[in-house]
Chain A
Amino acid sequence: MVTPAIALEEVFLNYRDVPALAGLTLEVQPGEILALLGPSGSGKSSLVRLVLGLVAPARGAVRLQGEAVSREGRILKPPEERRLAVVFQDLALWPHLTVRGNLEFGLKAQGLPAAERNGRIGRMLGRLGLQGKERRFPGELSGGERQRVAIARAMVLEPRAVLLDEPLASLDASLKHEMLFVFRELLKERRLAALYVTHDLREAASLGDRIAVLERGRLVQTGSLEQLREAPGSEFVKALAGDLFWMGGSRA
């Protein structure tokens, strides 16, 4: 039996006594891209913060490759020790660091020697077409370039899993399409487990190997695009099924 890369076991999370996640159980297998789909306020971003270790579950446990990292109100492993990478919606590129500085920051935190850092950064910049931009600050880049830097910064760490919290929400359709392709290619060639959070069905369908639907902090359905279309598990999924019909049930 394969140990899941990310596992949430009966997780409850409250924000000021309001439940954000209620008894959630979820697994992401190694090399799998799980698209987490849900409307605003469904608890998607709370789930990302929980897996990262920025908040502790009130009840339940979070495991990474079988190891319990948060359990019953306690963070057993702080975020910096979890070997995860994240891309937030606002990308969170450090404005005072150059492109190179942004990529190097996490590698230095890992204590990698300079030669190894340089090698990894060079390869990643080349892979994402960012050569020649190393000395630029994020404010000097275009929207697409910033997006690439955010991906490069996450991938260069060679993490054990990547969390993507609506990273494409602010992009136009053509750039979004291009970035979805880049994401999928990079994640698959590295066999990385990924949790891709979105409220956009098209993104979820394009990128996810499976889609998990979250509503009011509860997981209402998990399955492939086809399974969701054929047997919708809630009114929300049923409503989405209309869109699925127009999409013809295939990857956009």
Chain B
Amino acid sequence: MSFWRRREESLVVGAAGLALFLAAFLPLAWTFIEAAAADPPALRRGLAALKAARPWILLGRSLTLAAAATALALLLGVPLGLLLGKTEVWGRRLALALQALPMSLPPFLLGLGWFYLFGAQGFVGSEASRRILFSELGAVLVLGLAFAPVASSLTALGLWGVDAALEEAARVVAGPVRVAVRILLPAAWPAVALAALIVFTLAFSELGVPMFLRVEVYPAAVFARLGGMDFAIAEAGFLTIPLWLVAIVLLGIERSLFRRRSFAVAGLRGRSAAPLPLGRLRFPAAACCWLATLLLLAPILSLAARAGRGGGFSAANQWLWPSLANSLILGCAAASLLAVVGAVLGHAAARRRPGEKILDGLAALAFLAPAALLGVGLTAIWNRPPTRFIYGGPAILVLGFLARYSIVAIRSFAAVLAQFSRDLEDTAAAFGAGYLRRFLGIVLPANFRGLAAAWILAFVFCWRDLETAVLFYPAGWEPLTVKIFTLEANAPEAVVAALSVAQAAATALVLALGFLVWRRKAPW
């Protein structure tokens, strides 16, 4: 037996880990490297930037805004998830599927949609509604509604994972409301808590909505030092130090509350209990659910109406296709790389191989860390003469997506493998198959749908990304989200709206494709 064959697993996992290390660890660690190596003037400037009151006020505002948006998303999303996931509300699956669309769009686009509705010139807007929209409250409302589907979907998913026997045993002795509140929701709490963590992370990282609504937030202050007149990369590095604290706290919460549980979020049982009967509440509950779904879709409908009214679709052509192609190329490349890394590291995580906790923790940290922290690090590491070929081309965006979203691919594939009998792999090992033969011949083909789902999920995250890409997109490689963001201030509203509708339509297409892949029965 050859030396290499015995080390296949170590080599493959090591290569995936190295990719993650280069993409995520180096940029994240850069803040400390830079601070340690800073010359005295740079150190003074950096410390002065941190000593000023302004950054801390902004940090406090960002944290408050993210917390309020999370509270709103949970307040709306959890009951919605409960009703759509577990009761006999008419069209509940369709409503959940429709909510996947706003969830897969950058919140900035939804903010635009709300602006076309409630801006001073909006369909139902007035000066008063404009004032509310362009305020901290407006940012909370836009972000809370944008992320509510994350809470509803994860709650529904968590409820589907609850053992049917637990629910049925409770149904024998208690009414549906008591069963829902006392048994189902507590049993599904990891999913709800995970939703809270994800929403908080995304809301805290969000750049597009606060910048559009003229609400000053901390990540925007860092972003300002990465481009234009205020370019000051070293100062930006110092400003990322408080973001580290936020990231570490979030990682601590994630480690202590979820890690293994998050693998089981997708662990749907084969048998599910009958939907909870709502009795007289059936019609009002259905009406509430569908009204809420319409509320979540309202900004997309508003975008479509705005684009149609001003002839935006024909005028948007010149910007649409190059940016759409960029998004598609970048999304496909990054999702493919993420699927490979996610499959290898997800397998290592599910099988608890040595070192998997460190790699999983690093991937989680890169997602939980605000995008600005990662963006500053990536810019500082790769924007140097020897690596300009990476920084100046699409590779830097692929690296950024790999760093930020690897946890999505790792966890989703690990969740799939958690349902996959380990005996299938052990038998193959006993029958003489080494790691690669087992991985390529048994694990991947037998879990092909799971792998495809991980790819599509990773693609959607890259496709909807604005906050990472906007920090360091190279010239000529703007994804559609960035193009819309940069055009928003200068192009006619109808054109911006049309581009946003194109983004939404393409997203819907990807989601439909994902749904078909997931629904497709395996040939065996």
Contact = CB atoms under 8 A, between A and B. Distances in A.
Interface residues of A, number: 32
Contact of B430 (A52, A90, A96, A140): A52
A30 to B, nearest CB: 19
B424 interface: yes
B431 A52 contact: no
Contacts of B524: 95-97, 137-140
Interface in A77-117: 78-86, 88, 90, 92, 94-97, 105-106, 108-110
Given A81-B1, A109-B433, A109-B434, A92 B522 contact: no
Interface stretch (B26-34, B267-275, B371-379, B439-447): B439-447
A54 B441 contact: no
Contacts of A80: 429-434
A109 B428 CA distance: 9
Contact of A94 (B428, B429, B523): B428
A92 B430 CA distance: 12
Interface in B403-440: 421, 423-424, 426-434, 437
A157 B446 contact: no
B6 A95 contact: no
A105 B431 contact: yes
Contacts of B430: 52, 79-80, 82, 84-86, 163
B382 interface: no
Nearest to B429: A79
Given A81-B1, A90-B421, A96 B432 contact: no
B427 A86 contact: yes
B448 A78 contact: no
Contacts of B429: 52-54, 78-80
A90 B423 CA distance: 8
17 contacts: A52-B426, A78-B429, A78-B434, A79-B426, A94-B424, A94-B428, A95-B524, A96-B445, A96-B524, A105-B431, A109-B432, A109-B437, A137-B523, A138-B524, A139-B524, A140-B524, A157-B431
Interface of A: 49, 52-54, 78-86, 88, 90, 92, 94-97, 105-106, 108-110, 137-140, 153, 157, 163
Interface of B: 1, 6, 421, 423-424, 426-434, 437, 441-442, 445-446, 448, 522-524
Given A83-B432, A85-B431, A90-B423, 8 more contacts: A52-B426, A80-B429, A80-B430, A80-B433, A80-B434, A86-B427, A90-B421, A95-B446
